Amino acid sequence: MTKIDFNKPFTPPKGLNIVDLKQLKNDEELPTLKTEHSVIEAANEQQILTILTLLNIPTKNLSGTNQLKNKFYEAYYNPQFLKWLISFIDPRINQAFIDSTYFSRNDLLPQIWVHIQPTLNTLSQLGIIFFHKDSNNQVTYEAPPAYTEILATLASKDSFGAVNHYNVFITDLINSILNTYGLMSQTSLIQLLHDFKLIKNSSEEKLLQLIHAIPNFSRLFGFDGENFVLKRYNSEEKRQKLLEQQKPFPRFKLESIKEALQIQYSVTEHIADSKLENELKRLLTVAKKEVGPNFVFVSINELFNVPYPLDNALFKLLDQLNISIEPETKEQLQRYFRELMVYKHIPELNGHSLITLRALKKTKK
């Protein structure tokens, strides 16, 4: 088995013992902590339906806003559901909610905040946690009482830290693999995990159950009965087109867990001081836009952190900043974008980047 260092992330706040945090005597008391979730209360029927789908909550034979709202509350305040949900949430977020039932950007280290903020936004939009904005647009995130109680109960168990880390690790790993290939049969995925020495034959079924149990909101893929498929290719027509595009290329071989996790950031190391970064910085300076020191780097990284990056997203960003550009500048930016694009591993090339394909051609000569 591959050894993965799952540090226990859950430590009690200063002056307290983890046991001191526990207020529930048994799970049956959870419904007494029920409170209104403003996102759910404000949502229309379609919005609630979407939220329930993203939370893996069945909606068969349900209709109307009230029925769907009741279904959300019924599921959320079910101890087993909430335990499952919390076990897939970033351990750094769970640790922050153990330290305090609410926190904002200023309460966390910048390097932690930048990684967990997108997840916090998603959780708050789904009604899993609460958020509040003050007059200065400072956002504070708050754990509902039930979330706090279940989290404290789980965190008091020595094994939960490892379980939480492992669930999030598996989610990140499978997301990254599917981001690379777009589509992979269940058999091929299991074989790859065997190659990584991540599983033994006896644990195949358990790992498959775990992968299928990953919450919809945190996974980038679905399952068509035979294949795990990136949501981008969510129709039979799109899947067939992808397979046709992949045919001319041998499948890129992932050699290790580390490579599989890092491959989605294959462009990242080439962004700093690239022509694209320098040109965007120049445009911001000319337009007298005040942004953070890492704004350009982070923005470019986000543009490429999708299965198939398009330069349209770059120009939408400039539009949002109210920066107008001349046609020749647009052509220049497109060229700089393509220069970074060659490092991106994409499903249409069967997991390769243009750089790895060029290297492959050279070895065959």
pLDDT tens by residue, 42-62: 999 999 999 999 999 999 888
Pairwise pLDDT comparison (11 vs 153), residue with the higher score: 153
Neighbours of 161 (CB within 10 A): 20
C-alpha dist (Å) from residue 41 to 30, 33, 46, 48, 244: 20, 17, 13, 9, 46
Q: Would you mind telling me the total number of residues written for the chain in this entry?
A: 365
Residue 185 has pLDDT above 50, yes or no: yes
Provide the edge-to-edge strand list for the sheet that holds 102-104: 102-104, 139-142, 130-133
What residues contact 312, with CB distance under 8 A and at least 6 apart?
Answer: none
Amino acid 11: pLDDT: 63
Between the two ends of the chain, the Cα-to-Cα distance in Å is: 38
CB 141 within 8 A of CB 102: yes
- The tens digit of pLDDT for each residue in 15-31 reads 555 455 444 445 556 77
pLDDT digits (tens, 9 = 90+) for 243-258: 999 999 999 999 999 9
How far is residue 61's CA from residue 45's CA, in Å, rounded to a whole number? Answer: 14
Full-model pTM: 0.86
